[in-house]
Structure 1
Amino acid sequence: MNNTKLTAALDAASRGFRVFPVWRDSKIPWKKGWQAAATTDRAQISEWWGENPNWNIGVATGGGLVVVDVDVKNGKPGAASLEMLEMMGLPTSLRVRTPTGGTHVYVVVGDRHSGREGNIEGFPGLDTRGDGNLVLWPGSNIGRNKYELEIDTPPAPCPPWLFDIIETKTTLRVDRKDGWLVEPDLPDNVARAIAWLEGPAPEAFEGANGDSTTFSVTAELRALGVSEGLAFELMSDHWNETKAHPQWTPEELLAKVANGYSYGQGSFGGKTAAGEFGATDFEVLPPSPELRAKIEEWIRSHPKRSDVIMAVPETGRKRRILTYTQMSAMPQPEWLVEGLIQKRSAALMFGKSNTFKSFLAIDIGLSVATGRDWHGCSVSPGRTLFVATEGANGVGRLRVPGWFDHYLIEQSDRLNALLLPSEISLDIKSDVDWLLGEIAAAGPIDLLVLDIFGGTMSGTEVEDTTARAWVRAIQHIMHQTGAATLTVAHTGWQDETRARMHTHFWGSFDSRMRVEGDRDALTSCLMIERHKDADSAGSWGFSLSPSHGTLVPVLDDSVQPNKAAKWSKANRVAISALDSSLEAAGEIRIGDGWPLCKVVSIEKWRQECDREGLSSGNPPARRIAFKRAQDWLIDRRAIQVFEGHVWSTFDAPPTK
């Protein structure tokens, strides 16, 4: 049994910290009442991690222990605030490095302290965890990112001046005369609010300042022009079940909404004007017929709104219904690189480490930038922007110039290759806006290469919320620039035939290409896995030729794909049907044995397999074909089943 996390949990307990289990890859306590269950008892801790060795390790704060949380993600200035505390005499104390690059500073206090979030005056980016809160202990992880000890020393006593800083609260109460800028519950504003709740609205975790998060969500709805009564209904239907961990009871949620509307800052409806609305990072579609009917029903239930006429929100998109003649005359997709990437489409290249994916991506991108045929495939010349989230120095200084030198490209013909040498969070609206601004300043582009996928988001590759925001951003970027995108990603944990990513990512790409490679032989093979709008065929073998300080792919017919790695058509239909059924009917279940991702009933999956044509035989033959595909996918560890439900292992971290 892997006892690494048990060892870490016992280590925390030996330091006097009260420990309890947290669901793997998350900050969610494994059950209600964790505050009372947290313990330093080694036997109890061993029993917990004996039942599930993959629990993350939670430490209950409070009772004299306070943790100062230094937040630096998304540009927050926590590091500068910590530096200010250090200049004021912050003593050396136990510190933990968090997965997002922040810091947890442990201190001991002689009095009670409630956690604070976002309102420590003069110290932006600092929060605290106190009574009733939690932090994760080193040995825990979120995705591939770990919590690690930074300074291994006992927690220092909290100096009186620091306690005064973290205890002095700034008031959130505001004058209710700040005005209503819009009429409440306008249908388009309700539609925007629902889209925000189901999309980028934050999740609330018990013990991790869940009260403050819930307050911020209710205050945001107020700014979006939603009345207090309707806000309760919207949060109940579109947020509480999926984003509150655990769910608030109706009575609790009603109280949270009341607080948000009593103390939320800013004008009612202050984020509804098109020029000011910044809560969502995507373009909101008009309400569906079902949503339209529900909004109308809400309006009818509010007497003050009974005279409102349903309006479709303006989105700026040009839409029209096509006649048969018009639809049949729609243009054929155009190739940016023939047989490989279509113009204005999203392509994915994925493979294991050391298969030379990045060299192939540079080869494709620079073929576009120079207009050279790509190994016999015609290319539409254009400008290429490489976003290098790792190894940017090598890309800009060695690989791109080396490719140009290998093909003797004149200096004047090298100007269509651009480089962004940093990570970027495409699930964050401000980063997307910044990128679009930089592209506008640099001039039009025809291909955007994102290498590597994991460095283009603030969340993880397996989070539903991150996936939806990222996909919307890619679509928005393509719509605004007219460029195609090529994303480079690693394969999943269990199977090299699929990229490591949530199914919403996976299904969004217009083209998918798999790469196999042999590092020692310096060979690589690229295979088309799917084109949505073209024949899904084609493979190219390459030898990697050392040249001018880089490796340049050279077409080599002797390099062939590994046929054993190919999935049968039936197995691909089955996994595609699982993606579809998870998208349509997936649900999150909490408890022992359940993963931190959506699951769906096996029966619903089987029905979707029938719809997608897994087998064309009679009902018994279709059931046999389904059972055969299910068993094969289980053997390949591509799926897991539990209590009549199934999920994709590409959506949840593996059991170690």
Structure 2
Amino acid sequence: MKEAALEYARQGYVIFPVHSATTIEERIERKIATGKLDPADADERRGKLAKVPLVKGWHNLDTPDPAQVDKWWTQWPDAKIGMSPGANKMAVLDLDVDADKGFTYCRERLDRLNLPDTCLVVTTPRGGEHRYYALPEGVKVKSCNNFMGTKEDPSHIDLKSTGGFVLLPPSLGKGGNGAYRGNVIEGSKDLPLVSKELLEIAERTRDKDAPKAEWLIEPDLPESDADSIEWLSKKARHGTSGVDGNSTLAATGAAMLSWGISRDRAMELMLEHWNPLLDEPWSEEELRLHGGSGYDSAVRNGGVPGEWTKAYKRAEKASMFSKVEGDQAGKPAEVAPLPLETWDRTEPPPRKWLVEDWIPAGRLGSLYGKGGLGKSLLALQIAAAVMHGGKPVATRDPSDKDRAEASGIAKTLQGGQRVLWLSWEDETDEFKRRWRQAYHAKAITEEYPDPAWLGLVDMRKIGGALWGPDGAGGFNWTETGKRFLSMLEGYALAVIDPLAAAFMSSEIDRSQVRAFASALDRQAEESGCAVLIVGHPPKEEERSGKSGYSGSTDWRNAVRYMMLLETSDETGIQVHDDGKERKAGALRLRLDKASYAREDRHVWLERHYVKGPPTQLAWRITSAKNAAKAYNPDKIIPECGSGTASGQGGSRKKLPLSARSDDP
């Protein structure tokens, strides 16, 4: 392999070493020995490294260097030989064939390129072809995977030139199986020029795939460059290729827009200053693909170029004022004014509530709580009251204060309104079981939901999310999501359970969260349908028992109300714990955010059981004392103050049987 590499270099080719089966195994063994790789993930990592260059900065190589080639292949004797066609003034069409997966490249799309016959064709180990063409003097073509194809209808044709690379004969295939065959040196002596059709399509593809952003400052300012490099080197999150998925890489790409860096420059800086810091760096091809996708997604979703820079803040301030001198200096520049609403002296209409003080009509809200706590059951009780009347959550001996706190959520609703329910977790039969359990526990007034009032969609059968990849490198409403939005008209409440299945994007990506939630709230307001999303707290908080919500703070900012189903020690009740006193934990529903009512309103909850078989249950509001008893049935201190610990004049009480009986 070394002699072949040297011959390429002597003939004027710019080449570089790429991982071989030997170097991959050495790297895998080293990672396992240092604890940085789980042996179970070794095969996946091998696949990822099969086409990863062994040297950094290969994309910047532009001059043949036989002496450097000799050093590389002395260090890695069986390394594959990589070449960037763009650096060698060529374009290569990679025509993919995979008999095992049953696909081949699209010949119809290949014919549309009107390419001349070429004398240089390299056969790949899987039976595909690399067809080589010369580029006109001074012309550059950007590499493009799935050239002329889409995610739904792939072409299995890749265009390799600037930013991409191919393997040269006699390099071996993945795992050392098969070899690339062909005489590149001889065949390249009389290469035909690439067709004008390919150049035109490549240009249109680049323009189509590159969303346009409005820049208030010049991109790639020296100070923006310096700040972004410092951020990449010291503060940007690190992910691992093949381990953390693409979210960290995409988020880093998106952040570069906020640093005022152009797309191409952003990828270069990430390759140079961020990628080498990772335990397992990305290949350049993958970094440009997924990092560029994150950048484009930020542009499509209204990301502001340079918003994190001082230059942007200066330009934003300066843009508000004219540059005239004299007595006009400093006055606002003449710009189109914002449209003004006309105010009259009539009384505004009263605010509409679906559940008074808790759920406003026609707005977006959320219900969060850790897994298994009963969020879906609580949402079901609210939905049933909206449809058939009754109290969203019944009460059992609450104090005057608890009753006041409960307010509208314990008031009887009139019913007669339609509910749309999208479930990714529970099938239809499970929904029926929960409904009947709550009915027998006297939390729902009707034994069966009226089909005229309930629109139940089993998303497990349909599949897909409401928001996800759009096939063009970004994220947007899916076809299922668009159908959902069109259905809201005529419903009073729509429940999305759970959020994680409906939102197939990074929950920490502010631009994604903002775009999804803002559009959903706007559609809720226009249709008059309140939308309730059911979500889980972050994993670390769920393990610790804390409550909260996952992802970006924009989830909280975008909703009009946020309810938390959580455990709390703020009951004022003491419990025994191995002879020691501590505060009693209890379950409560807390209004963590309320744009139209008082925040931090909360009610104490207990599960109301009705003995079976089967045992039926539902949520109901109770006093702090009863909630503590239900949550700590074996540890509540006696009420009369006859002692504080076992053997000190008191004894432990169990939850009275009446709390698990048929009492209303």
TM-score band (shorter)?
0.3 to 0.5
TM-score by length of 1: 0.45
TM-score by length of 2: 0.45
Q: Say which one has the larger Rg.
A: 2
